[in-house]
Amino acid sequence: MRYRWYGLGDLNAFFGLMLDNVVNLVILAGILIHVFGFPEDIVYGRMFPGTALGVMFGDLVYTWLAFRLAAKTGRDDVTAMPLGLDSPSTIGMAFAVLGPAFLVAKQGGMSPDEAGMHAWYVGMATMVLMGGLKLVLAFFGPLVQRLVPAAGLLGSLAGIGVALLGTLQLGELLHEPIVGFAALGVMWYSLVSRIKLPFKTPEVLASVLVGTVLFYALAAAGLAHTPVDLSSVGLRLGFPMPTLGFVSGMSEAVGTYLTVAVPFAALTVVGGINVTESARLAGDDYDTREILLTEAFATLIAGVCGGVSQSTPYIGQPAYKAMGGKAAYTLATGLFVGLGGMLGYIPLLAQVLPKAALIPILLFVGADITEQSFHAVPRRHAMAVVFAMLPNIAQLGLILLTQANPALAGAAVTQAIEGMSPDFVSTAGVMVMMAHGFILTGMLWGGALAYLADRKAGPAVITMLTCSGLTLFGIIHSVDPSGGVYLPWAAPDPRVWEWAAGYAIIALTFLGLSRTPEFREPAPG
């Protein structure tokens, strides 16, 4: 049997997978450059090449695994696993790691270029941390899946979908309402209602084209709200080279951003397990550990070579299979994205494509993640998913506080709210604490409530005591305005003891009430 590794269906699959990756890179650049003021040369010339290299490595390995599976099974309809940039952690890295590290460095007296390099080192270090964690978790992925209920893992991810991929991006879309709504209308029509477009046009491609054409038509008529300046548009060459720059950012990455690295690594590992299972049900029985190790090495390679966004296997393998995709689409995507980050045509797209035409894709990704989070858990865990989402809303508030004045970060946010009304100061201060470690907080909250819904008092109590202990050291709810960790007796605010005591009280409440006859009643379905 000769494996027919390419076909017409690969074209649609390629556009879908490729545009998902390009959109993530474009949004990443937009956040860093236009929200935080990063120097373009650092974003396009140093961050993009390594990030794109990770995608190329992963997709090429997945292409090879498809050939190997076809040879092993004697089937010619094998579809490769898709790999690309993880949307939630791309946005999370921009708003929770790279942006704050850049602003804090500027406050410390660094020039924009120096602060940009410092933030890049911290981002690389965080990537290396995530890659190392994923490498270890690849051997213990099923154990993580058993220990942490899906409601915690998926609920935290759903919160990112609602807050950072949804609400925050919707605000950006409405800066150009005509363009944004037109592109969003195509996405709603085709992807939400699942109605195919004429001539089997790829939905994502159609949405981007409609929005882009409309934007430049409005700009030509002087009706666009976003200024168009194409004078500096051009190819930005950059080649990913291994560097030890991440070493200088490692202490800050561990001390401040470990609470971002750990949950994102765990989420993609568990997601990789689920994706591999969905591919198996669709007919392609890949080895789970090989899929996980590939994404771990792709993240490590990207981090060591300057990348700042982790890659992950995408959940759409059965959908790409239904399109008729084989192995050509992952091969083409890997080469297009990898070479585009080096030869500069993806930075060119980042400068030319309007954000309002791209944001509907992120809105759909966020909505899809949230929908799956509720469908993938038992009905009795739905409330746990909701509570796991809430800490993300606090992070959204912190981002908006920072956006109010791009010069603000860390301690400056606290200073900025001190002159406002007492009620606002109190609420904003609590929201800042809640935002610190928001992903891990959501996972723990959702996990504890899922355990409780299953009448498992012991794990629920242990989870709440874990929250109490993590709070004491600032790993979650840090009272350090910059989100750093500390020893409990050296905490800069005594509220750390109150928050830790609150969690301990919840643990005692769970423990005490679990001794009652009512607790032993069967859990509802």
- Ramachandran region of residue 233, left (φ > 0), alpha (ψ -120 to 50) or beta? beta
What DSSP string runs through 228-295?
---TT-----------SHHHHHHHHHHHHHHHHHHHHHHHHHHHHHHHHHHHHHTT----HHHHHHHH
In a 13 Å sphere around the CA of 424, the CA atoms on its Cβ side amount to 11
What are the residue ranges in the chain where pLDDT is below 50? Answer: 408-409, 411-412
pLDDT at 112: 92
What sections of 285-354 are H helices per DSSP? 288-304, 317-323, 328-343, 345-352
DSSP state of 488: G
Beta bridge partners of 311: 85
- Are 83 and 314 in contact by the 8 Å Cβ rule? The answer is yes
Q: For residues 401 and 34, what is the distance between their CA atoms, to the nearest angstrom?
A: 16
Other CB atoms closer than 10 Å to residue 226's CB: what's the count? 15
pTM equals 0.81
pLDDT at 406: 53
Encoded tokens for 327: 């192995």
pLDDT at 525: 61
pLDDT at 149: 82
